[in-house]
Structure 1
């Protein structure tokens, strides 16, 4: 399953990351995040920080520095060359994955996924290479997906679809024509290399324990 965000050892790593000092040659900017949660414990804040650290590292932003400040705020210092809007997406997305049928019934969620991988391969209708994200199921997830696709494939056109959503946004909504017993499922769409990588990063890290807002 996607890694647990409340691992006791996480606090040790957070402490070490807080001591990290980037190269003096790197021009840094900062973002301040406010925890949208009443009185989070130090363990909860450290868990959120470690999760965000994982996301930053997975997109190559290893020079970033994270510091917990007063009033449940988190300061993130990052290289000025980093795309700020993309960074905000990666660090603040709850990353709630849901696969639902045409009636909105939940079929699978984050707990049924072991990993997400950004790929570039021949998925286009004309055989061209496209960017996409591949999800790997747990054994339970594989069984549930097989059962769901078997049922949904029997429905009439317009009702035989499964929507893949992340944080309430539909990323892909393919029609289901037959039972699928594959241990993986593909999320395709108008992905670029960056957006596919960023989506895989937030899904692999797991859901944030609570949301954060940007302090302007």
Structure 2
């Protein structure tokens, strides 16, 4: 138990030295000192409560989900009826009152139509998403079920949360907190962000990109008054575009959405040198885009972003390469933000900022200072008590305690973890818990000496017997820490990270390192007794 060969001591000191070295950049950073640029500089990230930053609460417009589902169902129904053999002709299509209804030209087609609609109505899950009714023998009515709508809203919120995460990660920020709150809200916390307005603009952009054919049959006077021909809709031009202040009539169905994008980059138009966004479709999207442009050469098509027309160029020739270029009076920054939004995917639902809170870095600095003071006072009290009670063994425990704190910082830096205010509380708690192990060991050694065992046997049995209790206690704490990390969020996770890492480092320093030091002292001095 007290035998430590050279290779084992070398290995333990190497692990300790690496962890301490990994902690040094964080210590320099927290103290305001400059760390040499030639050396690795991985540091512990500071959470929102320590580094300052932005807290934003987003709320979704859930009514859009029902509207979008109606539009998708209408397009699916039209496609299914058109592809039927022989074709099933329908008319008098209506989406009023949140329901999709249409008439069959031939009532005899009702059974065939029902068979084609059943897969669309039932969906792919266990929840029935639509109710299908036949009225007057030839009118089909599709109504959204509440269960189907609730599931769609939940799926949209999950997708929106992931899109928000991708957009914020693209900004280069570290360790953002992005969680759902209730059914329709998302909490976003970004530590160290200096420009919250840019964040709000990025998150507030739905980035729903569409390519739709312009309805050339629409009269300019009708468009100006907001009237569109059947099957079309009026879409206004975006601010800053060439048609700002005007509107355009576009075909409501049959266009292409940006769901098939695989790439988007800010670039420059080679002819005008204006900032643009170059986009790339996947194979399916590229084929659909090629078909659209091939079938409509010399016709205008509108590039629509979030319900606003960016531009409406003519299709001069088929675009077959699966790439396109979006222009619309961009600056470099706005083009880059749009590229980020398109790469991360369109938000399935609009998000509005309903709460904004900015935490200043001064508050975080004050929290760090007070946390360090609390840690220092607590550590000093523990050190005095340990040395006064256990003498040399208390000194070993104190050295192990210092190494323990440094190892926690080093491991957190290597893992790119975030330190929060509760994390500092975890540090203080770890200091007390780390000393517990040494108290158990030293008291066990005392008991063994009182039973008359020799020094070597007492120390060996003390470490052996106490270690089992230490491992059992730390296993239960580890389980609690893992559960806090898995089911907690934000500050709770920050506490759990320090707790779990501290459990491993505490056992390593308080048990393994101190045992190595005690074993070396015993072999060197061969004392007849120990003062405990």
CA–CA distance in structure 1, aligned partners of residues 61 and 175 of structure 2: 26
Please say if residues 173 and 193 of structure 2, whose CA atoms lie closer than 8 Å, have aligned partners that are also in contact.
no
Compare the two structures and name the one with the higher helix fraction. Answer: 2
Correspondence for 1:99 among 195, 211, 215: 211
Equivalent residue number for residue 81 of structure 1: 194
2:262 is the counterpart of 1:114: yes
Give 2:329's aligned residue: 190
Aligned length: 186
Matched residues in 2 for 1:123 and 1:92: separation?
Answer: 32
By how many angstroms is 1:29 displaced? Answer: 2.6
**Deviation at residue 173 of structure 1 after TM alignment:** 1.8
Partners of 1:161 and 1:28 in 2: CA distance: 45
Which whole-Å CA distance do the structure 2 matches of 1:123 and 1:211 have between them?
35
* Paired position in structure 2 for 1:69: 181
Instruction: Give the 4+ runs in structure 1 shifted more than 4 A.
Output: 38-41, 43-46
Distance 2:316 2:207 in 1: 28
Over 3 Å counting, the alpha-carbon distance change for 1:186 and 1:68 in structure 2 is same
Q: Once the two structures are superposed, what CA deviation does each residue of 1:65-121 show, in whole Å capped at 9, x if it has no partner?
A: 32433464322223452151x322321322211101112234211233222122235
Match in the other structure for 2:61: 36
- Give the whole-Å Cα distance in 2 for the aligned partners of 1:199 and 1:50: 17
The alignment's TM-score, normalised by the length of structure 2, stands at: 0.32
1:141 matches 2:275: no
Unmatched runs of 5 consecutive residues or more in structure 2 = 1-44, 63-148, 216-249, 356-532
Asked if the contact 1:107–1:144 (Cα under 8 Å) also holds between the matched residues in 2, the reply is no
Post-superposition offset of 1:210: 2.8
Instruction: Give the equivalent residue in structure 1 for 2:385.
Output: none
**Closer, same or farther: CA 25–194 of 1 in aligned 2, 3 Å:** farther
1:45 Cα deviation (Å)?
4.2
Give the number of the structure with larger relative contact order, counting CA–CA contacts within 8 Å between residues 6 or more apart.
1
Contact 1:56 1:62 in 2 (8 A): no
Q: Distance in 2 between matches of 1:130 and 1:138?
A: 26
Query: Residues 213 and 139 from structure 1, CA distance in 2 versus in 1: closer, same or farther, beyond 3 angstroms?
Result: same
Confirm or deny: 8 A CA contact 1:21 1:65 kept in the other structure: no
- Residues in 2 aligned to 1:70 and 1:139: alpha-carbon distance in whole angstroms: 38
Per the TM alignment, residue 50 of structure 1 is displaced from its structure 2 partner at its CA by: 2.3
Q: Within the alignment, does 1:162 sit opposite 2:320 as a pair?
A: no
CA change 1:28–1:118 in 2 (3 A) is same
- Structure holding more strand per residue: 1
Match of 1:48 among 148, 160, 181: 160
Matched residues in 2 for 1:207 and 1:81: separation? Answer: 25
TM-score by length of 1: 0.72
Over 3 Å counting, the alpha-carbon distance change for 1:149 and 1:55 in structure 2 is same
Corresponding position: 1:171 with 2:310:
yes
Q: Which runs of 5+ in 1 are unaligned?
A: 1-19, 155-159
SS of alignment partner, residue 274 of structure 2: strand
**Which structure's CA Rg is the greater one?**
2
